[in-house]
Every structure is written in C-alpha cells, then in structure tokens.
Amino acid sequence: MENPAPASETVSLTVHDCWKCLETSSVGRVALVSSGDPEIFPVNYVPNFGTLIFRTGPGTKLSALQGGNPVAFEADGLNAYGTIAWSVVVKGTAELVEDAEELQEAAATSLSPWEAGVKDQLIRIVPTDLSGRRFVISAPSQWWPPLAQNLPPEGTDA
C-alpha cells in the first residue's frame, strides 16, 4: 500500500501580502520581448508607491522597455529559517521616469545596482496584475521517489 502524497501547502497571496514580500527582497527578474525574442534580465529593484523601480543603462533592456510593450517581473524569497518560500509575479507596463521630482524621490531609496557601469535610466513598472504564492519547502525525499525504485531489475536491459 502506497502512502498518498502530502497535501500541497501552497497559499495564494493577497495583493497586500505580495507587496510585503516584494519589500523583503531587492533582486528580481524582468521579462520582456526584444526583437521578437523573449528575454529575462536580473535587476535590483525597490517597491515605490504601488510600482517597482529599477535602474538600467543603454542596451537591449532599455530599448525593449521604451516600446510600451507589456512586461513581467518576478521575485522570490525565503523566510529567515529557509522553511517557507514565496514567489511574486508582477505584470504591467514599463515607463521611463523623467520627472525631476520623481527622480529625486527614487534617489532617496536604497536602489543600488550590483553591476558596475552607467545605470542612469530609471524605469518604473506600473502593475496591471499582481499575484503570488507562498509554500512550505518540502524535504528532497518528497520531491522524487528513491532512486532504487527507478532502476531496472538486475540482469535486464532497460
């Protein structure tokens, strides 16, 4: 008799909980389309009044973001004990921040890129959809059956 798989402990996050999670991390990935191809870039970000902001410089990412096309952003994190994980996805549009007051506001945040180089363009993602989930991290033994169960019987070819 086999033991049934444990019930999923995945919980959908409220919009409020999604923002709380995003505030605990500083690195995510922005997904966009450039020259007809999907691209994903890691970025340092900060939540800012119901939007996300990050810095970038000239190149593929900036060119694709200036087209007004939809973008997606994803960030993940863990609790302090490494026992509960979360993942949040933001869908929306990206816009170049050019207003002097908004640029000063952003400069007052803790937004600091990891990679050296010119990052003089500030991008704001304005969400149209926000979703997330939180789940208990299960032991690796629950991810896969024991390896011995997957091997062919001795003396046979698989």
Residue whose C-alpha is closest to residue 98's, from 49, 64, 46, 53:
53
What domain range includes position 55?
11-141
DSSP of 24-57: T--EEEEEEEETTEEEEEEEEEEEETTEEEEEE-
- Pick 148 or 109 by higher pLDDT: 109
Query: Does pLDDT of 24 surpass 80?
Result: yes
Domain contains 78: yes
Residue 23 has a pLDDT of 95
Residue 145 scores a pLDDT above 60: yes
Question: How many angstroms separate the CA atoms of 123 and 69, rounded?
Answer: 13
- Report the pLDDT value the prediction gives residue 130, as an integer from 0 to 100: 98
Is 81 inside a domain boundary?
Answer: yes
Which CATH number covers residue 18? Answer: 2.30.110.10
pTM of structure: 0.80
Cα gap 88→58, rounded to integer Å:
27
- Residues in a beta bridge with 78: 85
Instruction: Say if 157 falls within a structural domain.
Output: no
- What is the number of domains present in the chain? 1
Rounded mean pLDDT, 118-145: 85
- pLDDT value of position 154: 65
Give domain status of residue 2, yes or no: no
- What is the residue-averaged pLDDT of the chain? 85
pLDDT for 87-112, tens place per residue?
A: 999 999 999 988 888 877 777 777 77
- pLDDT, position 42: 94
Q: pLDDT value at position 68?
A: 79
